[in-house]
Amino acid sequence: MVSKRISSAFQRGLILAAALGLCRQSGLAGQDEDLDLIPDFISAAQPAATPSPAAGGNSYKFFIEDEAQTNSRRHGVLLPLPDKYVPAWSNRFTFYGKADIRLTPSLSLNIVDRFNHLSDMHSDFPSGVAQNDLNEAYLSWNAYREYYLDAGRINLKSGVAVGFNPTDFFKKNAISLRTSEDPIVLRENRLGTVMARAQGILPFGTLTLAAAPEISDRPGRFITDRTSFALALQRTNAYPRYLAKISSSYKAISSDLLYYRENCTSYLGANVSRSIGDSFVFYGEWSGGRRHSLTTDALIYDAKLYGVDGAKYAYVVPGDSKRRFRNQAAAGFSYTESARKRSTFVEYHYNEAGMTNKDWGNWFLAGYAERLLDFPELASVYDQVNTVLWSIRDYAQRNTEPITRQQLFIRNQWQEAFTKKLDLANLLQLNAADRSFFLQSSAKYSLTDNLFLNLSVYFYAGPEHSEYGSINKWSAIKPGMTYLF
Amino acid sequence: MKYFILTLVFTFLAPAAHSAEPAKTADEIISEADAVRNPDTPFSIVVSLVEYRGGKKENAMALNVYSKENAATGQYRTLALFLNPPKDKGKVMLKNGTELWFYDPVSKSSVRISPQQRLMGQASNGDVMTVNMHKDYKAELAGEETITDSAKTKALCYKLNLTSRGDSNYYRVEYWVDKADSRPLKGKFYSDSDRLLKIVYFGGYKTELGRARPTEAIVIDGIDPKLVTKMLFTNYTERKIPEEWFQKEYLQRFKGD
């Protein structure tokens, strides 16, 4: 009886022990299942040669890119762009080189250059136009701790917004070649300004001072863009310019305060940004100073640079020609879905110097006048008026500022869309007054780590009397290829 | 009867023998594990990653990561310079608390990004090396477990349940620390909706900067478990990293040397 009881206790003990053991095993099994997710060869795999940081601090980047463009014409617009600006097809080949060479431990030479070969339906293939853009060439001296002195042609950029940067004062007239309508791409393709820059980076903030001399505002062989390899300094150094900028961060709010002076006129600017939660970044940017309206500025610029009598054509687009304090602003946020690798930027752009509804009305009225007064003997006058009208829009594009007062900007980028090798980006610019819009969709597919296929499609849509509906093309397709060395 | 007693002894007395050791608190365990991963001086490492999907290599990338602890917050601040692939070479990412910036040398502009934007890229995987778990998470000891590490060796571990103190990338973490030598061996990282985001195995322990530290990690994507990333940590180097380097204006000056 006693032995039977001991035996049953022994059995219970074994069951208990087995149960405890099983419990532990089941806990282990869960963890081992995680390990099963790792293929055996990965555990043993060694990545290819680990790249070491740049030897001697030198770094280089080179790529070649070819991009074709076909335009689909919109017919019957009031003021068509001359044919030469809307060719049925065109092609751009670019060689890009960037070098950062450490000359001594504290002195480095920075060079960024783009060589472009441009051809279109009006040129006999393979001939075309060669255009070399020396975007940057400057010496940088690390004088002491984190204090730097730079001198030469420098691309000095400011601003936190994506679509429009009111505080990016040196962007004015600096886009050398409009390879895209995407502001992020345009930023990669602009001319620096010849300047001296001093920068002190401190633990609590940064002070930047820059001074750019007036070199030339008149056409000349080497310093303007009259030859393929000229420096186009008339674009960037037409006036003496000065900038002082203080950047700091406090409790995750990052801010910049800017003072800018150009040709005896002062401007103020400010940037602020903060992330809220894990997914949002909110930001705002503002600048203000005394200036003419964009229309008047464009006429003055053309008068000075190209010898066009701006005053003579001021009647074409009459409006607010007074020089007064005007604001520019961009405010928005970015939102990210990391699981889907998508980011969206939404921005509101305000340009107090931009064209009002009345200005647009006058702009189109000039077009009507041309149509109504169809006298052959006045053809040359109409051509000039047409040139002046489009030069206003061209001026806004070259200065990378909205031509109209209010604009909505949305940019969505999707990394690894559908496949690891595909990146997509969509961009929408909406004129808040006339509801016309520009839409750009771009895809980049990586065939290898170095070779990419690109495709962009543009749409210009809106009523006849609207910013985008008045452009005499309604779409463009841009296939291309990029090879990184 | 003899077997019964022996079974009881092994089953119940073995834990008692462990409990005779001075018990460590969860905070002590996590601090010791942090010290294994993170050198106590500013340092740099080269992080090489290869991404596999379904066992097939998809992406490779390398970053030169500079890290320094913020004495005030205990959080690590990092500057990551992309060395590879060619399309990303020269880009720099700054993480200074919740202030994150991304600098592209071609456009020469810095864009402020959100923590989620950072998570989209592989740079966030580099952070598994420099997260100060003790400061970022509240730790609770959940018990002891024997797990199998990435080298297929069994190890008795402390299992810790960590909950975010606020500014961390993950809401909660399950964390296994080798009981014998405080080496972190495994972590499971969850979102605030309790979605498993990452499983990380630390391994390849070698002596670096004065003590045994992990030189590899295998990261399994929680959402897509077929996506596995192998990371190698090399070139552990002690660095003098000035505070100025964590200003966004410094990004264009950063050479990573």
From the candidate CATH numbers 1.10.287.3240, 2.30.29.30, 2.50.20.10, 2.40.110.10, the one assigned to the domain spanning B23-253 = 2.50.20.10
Mean per-residue pLDDT for A222-237? 78
Of A266-280, A413-427, B48-62, B184-198, the one with minimum mean pLDDT is B48-62
Chain B closest CA to A136's CA: distance in Å?
A: 11
Chain B closest CA to A449's CA: distance in Å?
A: 6
The answer for A162, left when phi > 0, alpha when psi is -120 to 50, beta otherwise, is alpha
With a cut of 50, say whether residue B113 has pLDDT above it: yes
How confident is residue A408, by pLDDT bands cut at 50, 70 and 90?
very high
pLDDT of residue A377: 62
Q: How far apart are CA A64 and CA B179, in angstroms?
A: 55
With a cut of 50, say whether residue A47 has pLDDT above it: yes
| A59 interaction partners in chain B (CB closer than 8 Å) | 89-90, 255
pLDDT of residue A54: 57
Mean per-residue pLDDT for A139-147? 95
CB pairs under 8 A between A and B: 216
Mean confidence (pLDDT) of chain B: 85
How confident is residue A79, by pLDDT bands cut at 50, 70 and 90?
confident
Q: Is the separation of the CB atoms in B79 and B245 below 8 Å?
A: yes
Mean per-residue pLDDT for A285-292? 96
Chain A closest CA to B24's CA: distance in Å?
A: 22
User: Least CB-CB distance to A275: which of B98, B148, B242?
Assistant: B98
| A46 interaction partners in chain B (CB closer than 8 Å) | 232
Give percent above pLDDT 90 in chain B: 49
pLDDT of residue A220: 59
Q: How far apart are CA A419 and CA A446, in angstroms?
A: 10
Domains and CATH numbers, chain A: 59-484 (2.40.160.10)
pLDDT of residue A380: 67
User: Least CB-CB distance to B120: which of A188, A415, A485?
Assistant: A415
CB proximity list for A266: less than 8 A, separation 6 or greater:
A259, A260, A289, A290
Of A2-6, A28-32, A173-177, the one with minimum mean pLDDT is A2-6
How confident is residue A338, by pLDDT bands cut at 50, 70 and 90?
confident
Full DSSP string of A3-45: HHHHHHHHHHHHHHHHHHHHHHHHHHHHHHHHHHTS-HHHHH-
Of the candidates A479, A470, A473, the residue with the CA atom closest to the CA atom of residue A88:
A473
With a cut of 70, say whether residue B16 has pLDDT above it: no
Looking at chain B, which residue has its C-alpha nearest residue A10? B4
| B116 interaction partners in chain A (CB closer than 8 Å) | 278-279, 336-338
Q: Mutation test of the interface with chain A: which of B110, B112, B136, B201, choosing the one with the most A Cβ atoms within 10 A?
A: B112
Q: CB distance A54–B257 less than 8 Å?
A: yes
DSSP tally for chain A: helices H, then strands E: 8, 18
Q: Which residues of A231-257 are buried (b: 16+ CB within 10 A; e: fewer)?
A: bbbbbbbbbebebebebbbeeeebbbe
Chain A closest CA to B137's CA: distance in Å?
A: 17
pLDDT of residue B120: 64
Chain A closest CA to B91's CA: distance in Å?
A: 12
What end-to-end distance do the CA atoms of chain A give, in Å? 89
Q: At B256, list the tokens.
A: 């990573």
Q: Is the separation of the CB atoms in A34 and B199 below 8 Å?
A: yes
A6-30 pLDDT, tens digit each: 445 445 444 444 443 433 444 444 5
CB proximity list for A57: less than 8 A, separation 6 or greater:
A100, A102, A108, B255, B257
Give percent above pLDDT 70 in chain A: 82
Looking at chain A, which residue has its C-alpha nearest residue B44? A53
CB proximity list for A204: less than 8 A, separation 6 or greater:
A248
How confident is residue B6, by pLDDT bands cut at 50, 70 and 90?
very low
pLDDT of residue B91: 92
Q: How far apart are CA A471 and CA A397, in angstroms?
A: 14
pLDDT of residue A191: 94
CB proximity list for A269: less than 8 A, separation 6 or greater:
A158, A166, A167, A169, A256, A257, A258, A259, A260, A285, A286, A287, A288
Of A70-79, A220-229, A320-329, B79-88, the one with minimum mean pLDDT is A220-229
For residue A430, what is the enclosing H or E element? strand A422-431
User: Least CB-CB distance to A37: which of B4, B225, B256?
Assistant: B225
With a cut of 90, say whether residue A238 has pLDDT above it: no
Q: Give the ipTM.
A: 0.85
B192-205 pLDDT, tens digit each: 889 998 899 999 99
Mean per-residue pLDDT for A93-103? 95
How confident is residue A371, by pLDDT bands cut at 50, 70 and 90?
low
With a cut of 90, say whether residue A126 has pLDDT above it: no
- The pTM of this model reads 0.86
How confident is residue A370, by pLDDT bands cut at 50, 70 and 90?
low
A249-288 pLDDT, tens digit each: 988 899 999 999 998 899 999 999 999 988 899 999 999 9
The CA R_g of chain A, rounded to the nearest whole Å, is 30
Q: How far apart are CA A295 and CA A312, in angstroms?
A: 14
pLDDT of residue A34: 85
Residues across chain B? 257
Chain B closest CA to A85's CA: distance in Å?
A: 26
pLDDT of residue A240: 94
Q: CB A16: neighbour CB atoms within 10 A?
A: 15
Q: CB distance A275–B248 less than 8 Å?
A: no
| A39 interaction partners in chain B (CB closer than 8 Å) | 52, 55, 228
Q: Is the separation of the CB atoms in A190 and A171 below 8 Å?
A: yes
